[in-house]
Structure 1
Amino acid sequence: MVTYKARMVERISLPSREYRERALEQAGYNVFNLASEDVFVDLLTDSGTGTMSEAQWAALVRGDEAYAGSSSFDALESAVADVMGFSHVVPAHQGRGAENVLYGSLLEEGDVVLNNTHFDTTRAHVANQGADPVDCPVEEARDPDSPAPFKGDFSLERARAVVEEVGRERVPVVVQTITNNSAAGQPVSVENTRQVRAFADEIGATFVIDACRFAENAAFVREREADYADASVAEIAREQLGYADALVMSGKKDGLANAGGFVATNDDLIYEQCKQRAILYEGFPTYGGMAGRDLAALAVGLREAVEDAYVEDRLEQVRLLGDLLVDAGMPIYEPTGGHAVYLDAEAVFPQLPAEQFPGQALVCELYREGGVRGVELGSFAFPGTDRPELVRLALPRRTYGREHFEHVADTATAVLEKRETVSGLRIETEPEIPELRHFTAELEPVRS
């Protein structure tokens, strides 16, 4: 059931097919290069693209823009303590800024970082420190059709094998991403988090939770983990996060804000290290690269994100889109995750080999057929990794309705009707950092 109503609207329009064809070619067949006004339904990301509440807009007006000692920072610090259980907060302009602060403080060249699955910027930040990012997904994560309830879990079996190979002294940090974005937004159980905490203690590592979608994860826990059936989302979130030594957070996801992020910890040493690095890269510790008004909006958003009615509606919207796509015949990764529906591009285009980027081809066809923008999270976005060929359709929070999702499903039908005629893509230009190539690389169709 929808638990909110619109107080502001934005007019959108679907460009003509001829226009979309031209825009796609000019963008180098990379939808990151498209202008937003050329997109009809934008599911590129749920990061900072949602609709804020009236309480958040009121907080924007009251934001304290003081360089030092901002009362807006006090509001954020209080919200993090109440919602997440951490006393020390180091703000940053967004999640990747927080990653730079935290991983730049904890890692050295030659280190190995274990994660249930690294996302793109996380992998890049780990690699930028000279460390090796190693994914430890459970086996079920590789099966789009498996009904397993917690396909986002961290594989302790895989992690122990890595430690056995490289030695525990080379593994100073263990990360758990909740929900597991690169594994189709699948949730992580509290029991698995508890086990990873024990494993980190066993090898003497710092345990970090990437908490971008912590509230969505808690809602899944309540649905699927029997011990938590009668708990609130807020209670589950606070317990699960409490097993970590530190959090890294993009406030643009479950902070319900358009900007911002932070590192949070109860460890005095980690806090001091991160605070000093943040001064160098982000700003003074009570603003951290954010305007005071954005600090204030994020503080309100964190509290709203753990309201049961909000997060239940959020998951229901994702399920609705997933159901409509299945009805249209589109192969998807099931069960649907918390923030997005993931399409199985390999099943859509079995004629295209991985080196011709079937996921990116599907992204381009969705735009070509219906002005829908998604993002590839397969061999194009994650070169050199054994990732399935997935396309993510991420839902901005409190933004789109059923009519938009029906348009996406109709677009999927149009793509499927011509699937056998679709050609692959090859990279024409790409940046030097391979972990980030999907943001700016340009491609062109493979000519038969």
Structure 2
Amino acid sequence: MELKGFKTDTIIEPFRIRSVEPIRFTTMEQRKALLSEAGYNPFLLKAKDVVIDLLTDSGTGAMSAKQWAGMISSDESYAGSESFYRFESAVQDITGFKHVIPTHQGRAAENILFTTIAKKGDVIPSNTHFDTTRAHVEHNGAEALDLVIDEGRQPLTIHPFKGNMNVEKLEGTIKRVGQDNIPVIMLTLTNNSGGGQPVSMENVKAVSKIARSHDIPFFIDACRFAENSWFIKTREEGYEDKKPIEIAHEIFSYADGCTMSAKKDGMANIGGFLALNNDKLAQDCRSLTILTEGFPTYGGMAGYDMEAVATGLYEALDEGYLKYRIRSTAYLGDKLIDAGISIVQPTGGHAVYIDAKEMLPQIDPLEYPAWSLTNALYLIGGVRAVEIGSVMFGLQPDGSEKPASMELVRLAIPRRVYTQSHIDYLAEVVIHAYNQRNELKGYKIISSPAVLRHFSAKLQPLDQ
């Protein structure tokens, strides 16, 4: 008997599950009370009261057996631990940067970098700054300027690299403000605030060329560098035969440094780093690290966290994992599109972004349509998502408010956590909310802080 191998385009989870966490189910009446107690802010809900938690993909993933093994054998020495040197070696191997400064997470790396280089009157261009990046830039008196291409602000427009920076606008900005007033040019990979959209290698090279021609440092926000590498492999001509790690090497070769939240493509629950080549800047950043994070060979991370990241950075670049990761996200996007729901297209790597402005035209942007939809998903099915709209980005540095460029609800998929049946349930909840979209009302803010208000603001439905 001669057998033939089984060939299929079906993608299954490239892992087996050996540890499980129970889910607590709640009724809609219970969720109404819980959401009210939380000031109608999903961030303030208790995790035990959430059925499917898509608030963020940051630090919420499942770690591998190899990561746990490394954590058990970690070196917790205060200075010069072996775990740090394994961590440093992994970061240097993948990024090629000379200096590696560990931090407890990505926003700490941002704080150290911008506190060191930014001042009042400076302008820091990016394709799109995310919330904490923008807050750190503005906290130091600089302007966080978004220069994403026009397609990046058009949810339904199909473009393979909607995260690209508009290089003409970048050149115009340098001419307008002067290169001495631009301490760094940032590029976020993938572009989180713009729908998890990737940046092409061609665009990385173009931004790098402009930065170097004007002697301006070029840094990458590398939170999802592995997912971006996969999009380049599958969408950009000339890279189809390259390995993701080879593509990552090339991306970083065009930059002078990067900030990294290892809670994303570091596949860990905590951790991050600042990596760079400039000796003087590294020295200054290490001095601030000692003041705010810890000794430079642990920088706010335990040895076991560094072990998890050192392994996770390579696991994030595994082709089997990336193929599954990107396709499983697209699977959710396809189900929503088939139901007539407007989402940012094509789907990004780590999340599906629902276009709440399109779904809820009856709600004014400053009555927060994306926030309304986010709360509806929790009430209907216990799904916790996050608004990326006018609550997150509407408040201006001078205290005024204006609508965000897009009103999105992000369904961020934790890595290696949910199965297809969870995603099918999630799709049913979103579709159920869509079918009742005309019943949804806006919200008003009752109280909020002046910075990053979406994390702790209290709101109230307008029909109360």
Instruction: Tell me, yes or no, whether TM beats 0.5.
Output: yes
Give a deviation string over 1:22-79, Cα, whole Å, max 9, x none.
0111111110000000000000000000000000000110111111011110010010
In structure 2, distance between residues paired with 1:112 and 1:385: 22
List structure 1 runs of 4+ shifted beyond 6 angstroms. Answer: none
2:138 equivalent to 1:120: no
In structure 2, distance between residues paired with 1:103 and 1:225: 32
2:460 equivalent to 1:447: no
Query: Does the residue aligned with 2:57 lie in a helix, a strand or coil?
Result: coil
Partner of residue 51, structure 1 = 62
2:379 equivalent to 1:363: no
Gaps of 5+ in 1: none
Partner of residue 8, structure 2 = none
Partner of residue 28, structure 1 = 39
Q: Contact 1:172–1:204 at 8 Å: present in 2 too? A: no
Q: Contact 2:365–2:403 at 8 Å: present in 1 too? A: no
Query: Does the residue aligned with 1:7 lie in a helix, a strand or coil?
Result: coil
Give a deviation string over 1:306-339, Cα, whole Å, max 9, x none.
1111111111111111112223332111100010
2:309 equivalent to 1:298: yes
Query: Does the residue aligned with 2:238 lie in a helix, a strand or coil?
Result: helix
Query: C-alpha displacement at 1:302, in angstroms?
Result: 0.7
2:404 equivalent to 1:393: no
Deviates more, 1:65-74 or 1:322-331: 322-331
Give a deviation string over 1:260-315, Cα, whole Å, max 9, x none.
00001122122111111111110000100111110111111011111111111111
Give a deviation string over 1:376-403, Cα, whole Å, max 9, x none.
0011100146421001000000000111
Identity over aligned residues, as a percent?
48
Deviates more, 1:269-278 or 1:424-433: 269-278
2:424 equivalent to 1:413: no
Partner of residue 437, structure 1 = 453
Within a 5 Å distance, the mapping from 1:7-406 to structure 2 comes to 7-383=18-394, 384=402, 386-406=404-424
Give a deviation string over 1:98-143, Cα, whole Å, max 9, x none.
1111111121221110000000000000001111100000011111
Query: C-alpha displacement at 1:196, in angstroms?
Result: 0.4
Q: Contact 1:38–1:371 at 8 Å: present in 2 too? A: yes
Amino acid at match of 1:276: S
Q: Contact 2:156–2:342 at 8 Å: present in 1 too? A: no
Q: Contact 1:324–1:405 at 8 Å: present in 2 too? A: no
Q: Contact 1:50–1:257 at 8 Å: present in 2 too? A: yes
Q: Give the TM-score, by structure 1 length.
A: 0.98
Query: Does the residue aligned with 1:134 lie in a helix, a strand or coil?
Result: strand
In structure 1, distance between residues paired with 2:31 and 2:339: 23
Query: C-alpha displacement at 1:166, in angstroms?
Result: 1.9
Q: 2:443 aligns with which of 404, 414, 425?
A: 425
Amino acid at match of 2:428: D
Query: Does the residue aligned with 2:392 lie in a helix, a strand or coil?
Result: coil
Q: Contact 1:178–1:188 at 8 Å: present in 2 too? A: yes
Amino acid at match of 1:424: G
Gaps of 5+ in 2: 1-10, 395-401
Amino acid at match of 2:77: A
Q: Give the TM-score, by structure 2 length.
A: 0.94
**Aligned pair in 2 of structure 1 residues 188, 84: CA closer, same or farther (>3 Å)?**
same
In structure 1, distance between residues paired with 2:137 and 2:331: 36
